[in-house]
Amino acid sequence: MANEKIPYKIYLTEEEMPKTWYNVRADMKNKPAPLVNPGTLQPMKAEELAPVFCDELIKQELDNDTRYYPIPEEILSFYKMYRPSPLVRAYCLEEKLQTPAKIYYKFEGNNTSGSHKLNSAIAQANYAKKQGLRGVTTETGAGQWGTALSMACAYLGLDLKVFMVKVSYEQKPFRREVMRTYGASVTPSPSDTTNVGRKILAEHPDTTGSLGCAISEAVEVAVSNPGYRYVLGSVLNQVLLHQSVIGCETKIALDKYGITPDIIIGCAGGGSNLGGLISPFMGEKLRGEKDYRIIAVEPASCPSFTRGVYAYDFCDTGMVCPMAKMYTMGSGFIPSANHAGGLRYHGMSPVLSQLYHDGYMEAVSVEQTKVFEAAEYFARTEGILPAPESSHAIRVAIDEALKCKETGEEKTIVFGLTGTGYFDLVAYQKFNDGLMTDSIPTDEELAAYRQTLPPQPKF
Ligand SMILES: *Cc1c(COP(=O)(O)O)cnc(C)c1O
C-alpha cells in the first residue's frame, strides 16, 4: 500500500487493534534502576510494596523481562469504547507551514476524561477489582488522571478518593465536578485529613500544593484503610506498560501504509504518554533493527531531563513512597506560580531516565509562551483545541517541520497529541489577555532544590 494516498485519519479495525502491551524493559540492556526502600536503601521487594500497590501491578512493576503482556479481555472491551484513537495526517498543518515534512499526530483526547490517562486508569482499576479491593486512592494535578480514574472506577464499581493539588482544585472546578459526577470524593491537597497534609500545612500554611504532596496524602490514606490501595497515573513502569497501547496502535497504523517515521516527539511530565508512544519504536532501536530520533519535550519551568540530575530521589514531597532513580529537580521542587502548562512533576519515569542517560533519546525544554503560540496555531489550523501539555509536543513538531522547510528534507514526524484543552481555559485566558509570562528557574534555585536529594544507595 506504500504509494496509496494516506487518509486524513488512519483507524484500525477491531481485528487490527493490539491485543498485547509491549514491555520495553525486556529489550533494554541496562535495565531501569530498581525502586528503593528509603529506610534500608535496598531494592524494594514485592512484599514491601504490597501494602501500597495492587498485587498484579507490583508484578508488572518489577518485571523487566516479559516482552508482551496479553491485555485482559475486560480491558480490551473497555478500550473498544474509545479506541483506537485516530492517527491523523496533519495535511492542513503541513500546508499552512509550507513544509515538505509529513506530520502525523496520535490524538488521545477523544474520550470524556480528555487524555491518554484512561489507558492506564482502566488497567489499574481492573486489577484492583480482581484483587477484591473496596477502592483506591490517588492524587491528581491538573485533574486529567483523577477524571480518567473516576471513569474507570465508576465502570467497575470501585470507591475512589482523590487528592487534588489545591491550586488546580480552585482553578479547575469543572474537572472536580466531572470526578464527582463519576462518584469520586475529591479533597484539596494539602488537607487536614492526613498526618502528612497537616505537617506540610503547619510548615507552609500558604502553599498551593504540589503533586508530590498530594501523592503523600493519597498513599497515607491507602495504607491506613483496609481494602484500599494507591494507584499512580504516570512515572511508574507499569503505567508505561499500559500506555504502550498508544505506540502499538501507532505502529500498526503506520505499518499498514508502509510509513516509517524519522522523528517521534512527545511531551514529558512523568513520562507515561511519551514512554507509551515510543515503546515499540524504541524496542526496534534497542534491538538494532531501526533508528529513530526520539525527542522528549518538557517545560522550561520544570526541566527534569535538561537541567535535573540523574539520581535516586523521593517520588513524593512527604517522603513516604519508595525512592526511584530518575532525572529529578529534587522532590521539594514546585514550579513557579505563573506556570500554566502542566507537566509540573519534579521527577521522570525511571525507564525513560535510563534510556535518556544511555543516549537513546533527546530532550528539549520550551517556554510556555512559545507553547501557547503553537497551541493557538494548531487550533486554528487543525481544528483541535489542544491541552497545554500536548502543545509542548506541537511546538517542537512545528519547529522540526520548519527546519525541513529550510533544508528541503521530507522527514516524517510523528507526535503525541495527548489531550484536549477544554479544561485549561484559565491558562488560555491568560495567554489571550497577553498576561502569560515565562519564568525559568535560576541555577542557584535548582542547586538549592538539589540539596533535598536523599543519601544515595550503594549496591
Ligand atoms: C498527564 C498528562 C500529560 C503528562 O503526563 P505523562 O505521564 O508525561 O504523559 C500530558 N498530556 C496530558 C493531556 C496529560 O493529561
CA distance 123 to 73: 11
Substitution candidate for ligand 1 out of 273, 279, 378 with most atoms within 8 A of CB: 273
Check whether residue 281 and residue 381 sit in a common domain.
yes
For position 319, what pLDDT does the model report? 77
Substitution candidate for ligand 1 out of 85, 106, 232, 234 with most atoms within 8 A of CB: 234
CA distance 79 to 148: 13
Check whether residue 109 and residue 156 sit in a common domain.
no
Check whether residue 167 and residue 311 sit in a common domain.
no
Residue 420: name the closest of 391, 447, 380, 452 by CA: 391
Query: 3-class DSSP state for residue 73?
Result: helix
Check whether residue 53 and residue 82 sit in a common domain.
no
147 alpha carbon – ligand 1 mean position (Å):
13
Check whether residue 93 and residue 124 sit in a common domain.
no
For position 1, what pLDDT does the model report? 46
CA distance 268 to 163: 22
Residue 37: name the closest of 456, 322, 408, 381 by CA: 322
Largest CA distance in the chain: 65
For position 214, what pLDDT does the model report? 92
**Ligand 1, atom 4, residue with closest C-alpha:** 269
Strands 228-230 and 135-140 turn out to be parallel
389 alpha carbon – ligand 1 mean position (Å):
6
Which atom of ligand 1 is found nearest the CA of 117? 15
Q: For residue range 24-49, what is the model confidence (pLDDT) as tens digits? A: 999 999 999 999 999 999 999 999 99
The answer to whether residues 51 and 223 touch, using CB atoms and an 8 Å cutoff, is yes
406 alpha carbon – ligand 1 mean position (Å):
31
Check whether residue 80 and residue 50 sit in a common domain.
no
Domain range for residue 292?
Answer: 9-16+72-114+237-450
**Ligand 1, atom 5, residue with closest C-alpha:** 269
Distances (CA, A) of 146 to 5, 231, 298: 40, 10, 22
Residue range 195-224: mean pLDDT, rounded: 92
pLDDT band at 317 (very low <50, low <70, confident <90, very high): confident
For position 262, what pLDDT does the model report? 98
Residue 81: all three cell numbers together: 469504547
Determine what percent of the chain is predicted with pLDDT higher than 70: 99
Count how many domains the chain has.
2
What dihedral do alpha carbons 185, 188, 192, 194 form, nearest 10°? 60
**Ligand 1, atom 13, residue with closest C-alpha:** 419
Check whether residue 435 and residue 348 sit in a common domain.
yes
453 alpha carbon – ligand 1 mean position (Å):
25
Query: In the listed set 185, 202, 230, which residue is the last one of a domain according to the structure?
Result: 230
The answer to whether residues 390 and 142 touch, using CB atoms and an 8 Å cutoff, is no
**What CATH code is carried by the domain that includes residue 174?**
3.40.50.1100
The answer to whether residues 159 and 153 touch, using CB atoms and an 8 Å cutoff, is yes
The full DSSP string for 232-292 is -SSSSHHHHHHHHHHHHHHHHHHHHTT---SEEEEE-SSSHHHHHHHHHHHHHHHTTS---
The answer to whether residues 412 and 264 touch, using CB atoms and an 8 Å cutoff, is no
Domain assignment present for residue 323? The answer is: yes
Q: For residue range 78-92, what is the model confidence (pLDDT) as tens digits? A: 999 999 999 999 999
CA distance 371 to 300: 10
Domain assignment present for residue 2? The answer is: no
Residue range 55-61: mean pLDDT, rounded: 97
Check whether residue 121 and residue 109 sit in a common domain.
no
Residue 325: all three cell numbers together: 532513580
Substitution candidate for ligand 1 out of 145, 389, 420, 422 with most atoms within 8 A of CB: 389
Amino acid at 98: Q
> Who lines ligand 1 at CB under 6 A?
115, 117, 144, 234, 267-274, 343, 387, 389-390, 418-419
CA distance 418 to 236: 18
For position 2, what pLDDT does the model report? 47
Domain assignment present for residue 31? The answer is: no
Domain assignment present for residue 24? The answer is: no
Determine what percent of the chain is predicted with pLDDT higher than 90: 89
Look at 447 and 142; give whichever has higher pLDDT. 447
The values of phi and psi at residue 386, to 5°, are -85, 155
Check whether residue 204 and residue 93 sit in a common domain.
no
Q: For residue range 375-391, what is the model confidence (pLDDT) as tens digits? A: 999 999 999 999 999 99
The values of phi and psi at residue 381, to 5°, are -100, -50
Check whether residue 286 and residue 322 sit in a common domain.
yes
pLDDT above 80 (res 318): no
Query: In the listed set 230, 246, 275, which residue is the last one of a domain according to the structure?
Result: 230
Residue range 167-187: mean pLDDT, rounded: 92
**Ligand 1, atom 9, residue with closest C-alpha:** 273
7 alpha carbon – ligand 1 mean position (Å):
27
What is the chain's alpha carbon radius of gyration, rounded to the nearest angstrom?
A: 21
Residue 67: all three cell numbers together: 516482552
pLDDT band at 250 (very low <50, low <70, confident <90, very high): very high
Check whether residue 139 and residue 203 sit in a common domain.
yes
Which atom of ligand 1 is found nearest the CA of 108? 13
Q: For residue range 115-129, what is the model confidence (pLDDT) as tens digits? A: 999 999 999 999 999
Q: For residue range 90-146, what is the model confidence (pLDDT) as tens digits? A: 999 999 999 999 999 999 999 999 999 999 999 999 999 999 999 999 999 889 999
Domain assignment present for residue 306? The answer is: yes
* Average pLDDT taken over every residue of the chain: 95
Which atom of ligand 1 is found nearest the CA of 268? 8
CA distance 47 to 76: 29
The cell 512559545 sits on which residue? 370
Strands 9-10 and 87-89 turn out to be antiparallel
Q: For residue range 413-433, what is the model confidence (pLDDT) as tens digits? A: 999 999 999 989 989 999 999
Domain assignment present for residue 25? The answer is: no
Check whether residue 310 and residue 405 sit in a common domain.
yes
